[in-house]
Structure 1
């Protein structure tokens, strides 16, 4: 037997339980991972509340990110081997492969050997955030030197990854955050400018920072009323990548702005890229090289012990973090 985080009803962190479950056995194309660390995502909270794009079937396991050691392999897993340190790229149905357990199955196409430079905590903080930011900023927007990249929810793990990728591309990273409380932390994380959306005129500040041109790249997980402001702040021929919905209120879009500025508004989810081997391979190579070069460094806000897994969810929903929230699992977590 092993333990897994599950919930038996929709709700807040209080519905989470650490259940004893049989240790699974890998089938063809699967590996069994003994977890050392879990990465926590906003999607985990939405899934638990029944607000995610996939509806939970209770009792439901959960979790998209894990790092650990391969304990067993099924047929057809290529060069993956027992004892290998690995992590996962979110590229699977959460109902089939929940990752927040002490022993979890993962499909071979989602498993990568993480760079030696990373601890297990860092590896559990890597693929969701960097592949998402890579897809939006590199693959779709073709971010290049001289661009201004506006990054909403910049203190999130994906936001911080986007700051690093924008800087790696030679662009100016403009971080958006609700208040000034996280300004210094975002500047320390590499942001060139920080705008507090509840305290400043966002569109005016972006025009000032770009000498009236507007931002060529916008990377947004918020949606809602914010989207109209970001469209107003966008430059001619700008690319707006929307990769999440933190604000479920209706978005009022100025279609004339979209038309006259020739804007591209593109919805994106990491699973889209990760499901295509021809797109995933260069993304993984890009992230690996960035980590080795030192341009991409996973930022961890706080590590919780396994027994405090519900507190980790509460902390996530408090929105005070700057970076990734990680849950340590099992002995010898750091490597």
Structure 2
């Protein structure tokens, strides 16, 4: 249902005041802050209409009103005035030199989202195949070899191999050269399958070493590939809307521990362009009625590879959080593309 100008102005004033102080807003306060030349009776009538339409609600303990999830939705979609944030100042604080490893850039982005918003920052990481650039073997002692795997983005993983055979340094160099020359740039899972039919011409011991190395390397890269990075969860403990009772606290930290629901939400938002706002109570993807999540996808070389966002109360300053999320997504995209 379309709201007329007076109803929109009053709803905007109510949501902004409630976000600011967390107290139900009465008609008398609205007559002062809305800027409208309306009688208290007229304001009460309009507020009654807004309540009937589901945009505001009246707590039992107060004559004032508070926004509902539907009220927050129309506010962020049509009434919100987004603040301007100096992108260069944010970029300086994020300290994102392009030579950093991608995982470091992502962790930095999550920390900055948390620091700037004072809520929790979250980044859904790119889904990497275990693609490698180079493999090296270092002989540590008899039958003990250090496997060094360099990923395509420069990430380095190590694995200790305990072998049945005491390989010579020359054999280790030969095995590493064979893998690098024939398989560099492929996913290690793919290499594992191709090796089974391509190593018959090599010595049995050498073939066994290569297969063990590829399996160990694939496991190492999979273990290091975090699905999600979260920073600043403890900030939410100071938000009374989210930590007002033990049940809410338990629900909130179950969400952080299990991550499944958050990952689903972030995955959904990666399929849309620009900033998305998920408001608890209206979206089944948000596990708590008192919680909202503001997200945006980020890219690498023109391709969307993940999503980031801020997790906070529905009573958050959306006009600040939205540009924080938007700018962080752009800066992380630039950093990953130049990496």
Question: Normalization by structure 2: what TM-score?
Answer: 0.23
Larger radius of gyration: 2
Higher strand share: 1
